[in-house]
Amino acid sequence: MKILTAIALMLASAEMGNVALAQTVTPENTVQSSRAELASDTIQEIAQAYHDAGIFDGVIIVATTERVLYSGAFGTANVEFGVRYQQDTRVRLASVSKPFAAAIVLRLEEDDLLSTSQTVAQVLPELANSPFAGVTIDQLLRHSSGIPNYQYRAPFQALQSKVLLSGMGSITVTLPDMIATFKDEPLLFEPGTRYDYSNGNYILIQAIIEQRSGMPFADALKTFVTGPLGMTDTGALDYRSIRPRLAQGYFSAPGGFEAPLQAQFVGVPAVGGIYSSTADMARWFAALFGERFFKHRETLEKMTTPRSKAHDAKSFIGYGLFTTMLETGEGSVNLIGHDGWGPPFTANLQYSPSNNLIVFAADSIGGLGGATDGETVRMAETIFRAANGAAWEKPARPVDRMLADLINTHGRAEGLARFIKAEPELSGSSSAEREINRLGYAYLGSGKLDESVAVFQLNTDLFAQSANAFDSLGEALEAQGDTAAALTALLKAQTLQPENARYAETVERLQSEMAQD
């Protein structure tokens, strides 16, 4: 493959700067690995460490293109019925679905049913008048189309609301429904000029697959991928789907879990609606990188060749696959794959050519308020570092969950006191500020106002120069009915960030309310 050459050429023209990955390693939280073939007990130890830190409930598999090295399952797949994860539990892939769609497009090209140089209008003439009519399949596959990400715009949010109001069962969301959420939106930039990740690209990729294959996407997936490879645990689903052995999703909450509304999964399979199992995902990448999937070796090179920089100076985009340069301590390795996040689900599938190593991990329990801990990405990177003989660092339990545990176990006052004693160095951590703030809002959203105020007050004590911390405290105090204290907190936020118009408006409103009392 031409991956190394393509990356070298890009790096030669890029301003790399100092991008070495900083890592704090101490003897008590670090494990040294050898360069011998990665042992299953090492992988088990890494996965267990992530589970013990409270950030991984899910499944993981590590394999080469010839054999499985390790497969494991951790935690709870269904909280209501106490069902634990098994090695054959099925999981939602989120955006790890996209490489399947890209591969199907290239198989259709091998069969002369399309060309990646064709435009949307040439393949889908019904969209000839859309702003993206001249966008090519190539530009869709590598996220350089300029099509905006529909998820954060009013038309898609209206569609989600329609699904909710229907009772979440009577409405079928079609591919044309999804295209309609962005088909009239102007492009963000001239196609092909830069990278900008957009799920709208893969909505159109699915439409192209269905038009040129003559079958629904689910059937194309079975015809080109899962059927030939014997992937019996892989298929397409939507927000109404019920599949045996499919893990359910939850967000962490103070004292337990909460289930998100299924309406958030409104979409189409090519974007993020495929489910699978660890064995199937290892089988998929083993076939792809073992050169047993495409008819021609050149097609795999076309899929994996980096075409432009993506997220940063060490990330590059191909067709449905990213190539990432991972620092390993003594050097770096290239990882080819895709990760996915469809709150609360996360998934990550990566292949290292230099190690001939495949890692797939997925979990279904997100952080407080729908946040992700990036656990499947971090865990895979840890495994690849260990495979290259580097020391690996055991993950810490997130600050918000550690604090919530202490409050739940010891009560509000004692829990806060124990937390302050145990974590005296947090004042320099921006991530700790965000996590504590997140816990405060979790309490606020659940109606636990005293806990919310106490947690936000802790955040202002630890991060006295954070305007956001005081703003959040003011919000909780106002909900508690203490307008005067809320005003004091907002005035402090305004002092720290005087250019913030919202703070000024809130201060004016609170002053007006106090004047009327």
pLDDT tens-place string over residues 42-98 = 999 999 999 999 999 999 999 999 999 999 999 999 999 999 999 999 999 999 999
Q: Write the CB contacts of 106 (distance below 8 Å, at least 6 apart in sequence).
A: 116, 294, 299, 302, 303, 319
User: What token pair was written down for 410?
Assistant: 């010891």
Mean pLDDT of the region 406-413: 95
Using the predicted structure, report yes or no on whether residue 348 has a pLDDT greater than 80: yes
User: What token pair was written down for 98?
Assistant: 């996209």
Q: Give residue 255's pLDDT.
A: 80
- DSSP output for 370-393: G----HHHHHHHHHHHHHTT--EE
User: What token pair was written down for 9?
Assistant: 């050429």
Alpha-carbon gap, residue 267 to 344, rounded angstroms: 16
Using the predicted structure, report yes or no on whether residue 488 has a pLDDT greater than 70: yes
Q: How many CB atoms lie within 10 A of CB 309?
A: 18
Domains within the chain, CATH numbers bracketed: 3-393 (3.40.710.10), 399-516 (1.25.40.10)
Task: Look at residues 250, 236, 258, 122 and name the one whose alpha carbon lies nearest to residue 173.
Answer: 236
pLDDT band at 24; cut points 50, 70, 90: very low
Report the predicted TM-score, pTM, of the whole model to 2 decimal places.
Answer: 0.89
Q: Give residue 372's pLDDT.
A: 82
The SS3 assignment for 286 reads: helix
pLDDT, tens only, 264-285: 566 889 999 999 999 999 999 9
- DSSP output for 351-366: EETTTTEEEEEEE-EE
The SS3 assignment for 401 reads: helix
Q: Give residue 160's pLDDT.
A: 82
Question: Contact, 146 vs 191, CB < 8 A?
Answer: yes
pLDDT, tens only, 298-318: 999 999 999 999 989 899 999
Q: Give residue 13's pLDDT.
A: 42
Question: Contact, 234 vs 277, CB < 8 A?
Answer: yes
Phi, psi dihedrals of residue 324, rounded to the nearest 5°: -120, 135
Alpha-carbon gap, residue 343 to 252, rounded angstroms: 11
User: What token pair was written down for 177?
Assistant: 């429904």
Q: Write the CB contacts of 340 (distance below 8 Å, at least 6 apart in sequence).
A: 93, 94, 95, 96, 97, 272, 346, 347, 348
Mean pLDDT of the region 242-266: 82
Lowest mean pLDDT among 231-245, 334-348, 456-470, 478-492: 231-245
Task: Look at residues 374, 379, 347 and name the one whose alpha carbon lies nearest to residue 363.
Answer: 347
Q: Distance between alpha carbon 184 and the CA centroid of its chain, in Å? A: 27
pLDDT, tens only, 432-454: 999 999 999 999 999 999 999 99
> Mean of the per-residue pLDDT values for the chain?
90
**Which is it for strands 357-363 and 58-63: parallel, antiparallel or unpaired?**
antiparallel
Alpha-carbon gap, residue 130 to 128, rounded angstroms: 6
Alpha-carbon gap, residue 393 to 458, rounded angstroms: 28
Q: Is residue 389 packed enough to be buried (19+ CB in 10 Å), middle (13-18) or exposed (0-12)?
A: middle
Q: Give residue 37's pLDDT.
A: 66
Q: How many CB atoms lie within 10 A of CB 431?
A: 11
pLDDT, tens only, 191-240: 999 999 999 999 999 999 999 999 999 999 999 999 999 999 999 987 77
Going from the C-alpha of 182 to that of each of 129, 192, 342, the distances in angstroms are 13, 19, 20
Q: Give residue 380's pLDDT.
A: 98
Alpha-carbon gap, residue 157 to 202, rounded angstroms: 18
Alpha-carbon gap, residue 414 to 430, rounded angstroms: 24
Q: How many CB atoms lie within 10 A of CB 114?
A: 19
Alpha-carbon gap, residue 513 to 517, rounded angstroms: 7
Going from the C-alpha of 405 to that of each of 253, 254, 371, 408, 456, the distances in angstroms are 10, 8, 18, 5, 16
Q: How many CB atoms lie within 10 A of CB 108?
A: 21
Q: Write the CB contacts of 146 (distance below 8 Å, at least 6 apart in sequence).
A: 132, 135, 187, 188, 189, 190, 191, 193, 196
Alpha-carbon gap, residue 218 to 27, rounded angstroms: 50
